Amino acid sequence: MTTPASPDLTPAKVVHVSTNDHQVTINRGAEHGVKLGYRYLVYELGEQITDPDTFETLGRLEVVKGTGVVIHVQEKMATLQSDRSAKAGSVRIVHKTHPALRGFTSMFGEDEEHQNLPPKEIPFESPHTGDYAKRLP
């Protein structure tokens, strides 16, 4: 009987970025307990932050690059797909007609339409090899 791999407490690192920034690959996989559908926060470390009242060092700022879902798991790495999207919406399209024909277009129906737009997938924000990834609850 095999025992599941113990969770790795250090953050994963991005080891590959797709050409369109919609997917990144991290250096954690099945042997680390990664499973399809797990969500990760992808980030880089920013500047050191100090509490202005106590002067205590609070740590480095995590600059968020996005969130993603595991879509493919290999033994030692996994691929994340960005799961952020812009809201779906509606757009009004007005069809312009020649002024001489305006009376005729009203006989044949409206000269404007509404189209529902699907949500737009948003890529990770400037991901780089070496960025960090940590699993979200």
Overall domain count for the chain: 1
pTM: 0.72
CA dist 123 and 23 (Å) reads 8
Average pLDDT in the 29-49 region? 97
Predicted pLDDT of residue 119: 74
CA dist 86 and 83 (Å) reads 10
Smallest CA-to-CA distance from 65 within 82, 48, 87 is with 82
Give residue 31's domain range.
12-88+120-135
Residue 107 lies in a domain: no
Q: Which has more pLDDT, 57 or 104?
A: 57
Average pLDDT in the 68-88 region? 92
Residue 96 lies in a domain: no
Is residue 2 over pLDDT 50?
Answer: no
- Angle, alpha carbons 74-76-135 (nearest 5°): 90
CATH of the domain at 46: 2.40.10.410
pLDDT band at 4, cuts 50/70/90? very low
Average pLDDT in the 53-70 region? 97
Residue 7 lies in a domain: no
DSSP H helical ranges for 22-130: 102-107
Residue 94 lies in a domain: no
For residue 51, the tally of other CB atoms under 10 A from its CB is 9
CA dist 27 and 98 (Å) reads 60
